């Protein structure tokens, strides 16, 4: 890999530094590596799409947006011999048997699958596919990168190999600039929650009695919703509930609080962003009191830093049409780029 000079991207990263008075470190695990890798990706990444002329019916908007954005992007190549990765699209409602047939066909028609047994291939499946016994399905599941929805359904996400798609969001994609509070606004609520985002009705009920918490089913309109986000310190999510507005929350500096009883392995951008600096993870064991105690116990400066990190990272959550630099589409492609050197299962031919 070439050593990147002072790049266009580093400039962008500097500009991205939050505008607030609180100095916030960049929200990336490794800002320098991200900048250089992202630049390399823009320069060189090529993806071959099987059946690119067909239309596919996916289960989630994120999958559809991904394929549409990909087909309109410079990453697509019609020449498979220059591709780094191969995309195997299929309809969201296909049975596992039919998916196996898709793999069998591309294996028979073109030499690329056999070369790596699928390790340089990827596919999109909102719910993820299981480990079937069929050879084609097994290779797809074990070797290829799965793009699936967040949060995933149990056991179908393989950490470090698979990629969680960023949720397609409530906001009309890309609308508005990231913003925090303006100087004449003040925090009104410790935390904000939408009923649909919390699965446990008992927890909602007990949280609801607290004047510091605002819980509602649906905000009356977009403007009200944005004001709620901007004027709350924390936004509550239940892992497994509706997380589609997590990017909106972050854009307005509302720090996501994710209620979960086990480590989350399929967080979007888990190998790019410093989630520990942008979100709070609390167990449900302590109930509503436990959640409130965790939030009230946090130091002011830490919360301000987290709000800054959220705003800085939020552009990576926006699905724009057409795609914009560093947005959700580009970040999914970036994570695929990071996986392009997966182990190749060389097939030995002794004959």
Contacts to ligand NAG by CB under 6 A: 107-108, 110-111, 114, 182, 184-185
Q: Which residue, 3 or 108, is less far from ligand NAG as judged by CB?
A: 108
Integer-rounded Cα radius of gyration of the chain: 21
Q: Tell me the torsion sign for CA atoms 130, 136, 139, 140.
A: negative
Paired with 49 in beta bridges are 87
Nearest distance from residue 128's CB to ligand NAG, in Å? Answer: 25
Q: Which residue, 111 or 201, is less far from ligand NAG as judged by CB?
A: 111
Q: Tell me the torsion sign for CA atoms 243, 245, 251, 252.
A: negative
Nearest distance from residue 19's CB to ligand NAG, in Å? Answer: 15
């Amino acid at each position: 890999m070439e050593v990147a000079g002072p790049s266009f991207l580093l400039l962008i990263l500097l500009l991205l530094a939050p505008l607030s008075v609180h100095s916030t470190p960049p929200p990336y695990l490794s800002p320098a590596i991200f900048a250089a890798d992202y630049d390399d990706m823009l320069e060189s990444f090529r993806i071959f799409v099987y059946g690119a002329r067909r239309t596919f019916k996916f289960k989630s908007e994120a999958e559809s947006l991904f394929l549409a954005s990909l087909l309109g992007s410079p990453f697509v190549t019609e020449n498979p011999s220059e591709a780094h990765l191969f995309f195997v699209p299929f309809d969201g409602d296909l049975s596992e048997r039919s998916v196996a047939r898709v793999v069998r066909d591309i294996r028979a028609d073109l030499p690329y699958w056999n070369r790596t047994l699928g390790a340089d291939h990827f596919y999109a499946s909102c719910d993820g596919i299981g480990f079937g016994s069929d050879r084609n399905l097994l290779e797809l599941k074990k070797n290829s990168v799965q793009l699936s929805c967040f949060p995933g359904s149990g056991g179908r996400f393989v950490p470090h190999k698979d990629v969680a798609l960023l949720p397609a969001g409530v906001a009309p994609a890309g609308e508005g600039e990231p913003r925090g509070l303006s100087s004449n606004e003040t925090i009104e609520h410790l935390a904000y929650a939408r009923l649909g985002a919390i699965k446990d009705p008992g927890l909602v009920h007990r949280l609801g009695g607290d004047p510091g918490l605002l819980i509602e089913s649906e905000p009356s309109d977009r403007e009200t919703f944005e004001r709620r986000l901007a004027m709350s310190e924390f936004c509550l999510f239940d892992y497994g509930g509706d997380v589609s507005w997590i990017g909106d929350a972050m854009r307005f500096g509302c720090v996501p609080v994710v209620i979960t009883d086990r480590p989350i392995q399929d967080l979007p951008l888990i190998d790019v962003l410093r989630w520990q600096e942008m979100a709070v993870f609390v167990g449900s064991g302590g109930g509503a009191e436990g959640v409130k105690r965790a939030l009230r116990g946090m130091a002011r400066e830490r919360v301000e830093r987290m709000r800054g990190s959220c705003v800085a990272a939020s552009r990576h959550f926006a699905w724009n049409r057409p795609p914009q630099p560093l947005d959700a589409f580009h970040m999914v492609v970036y994570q695929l780029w990071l996986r392009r050197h997966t182990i190749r299962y060389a097939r030995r031919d002794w004959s």
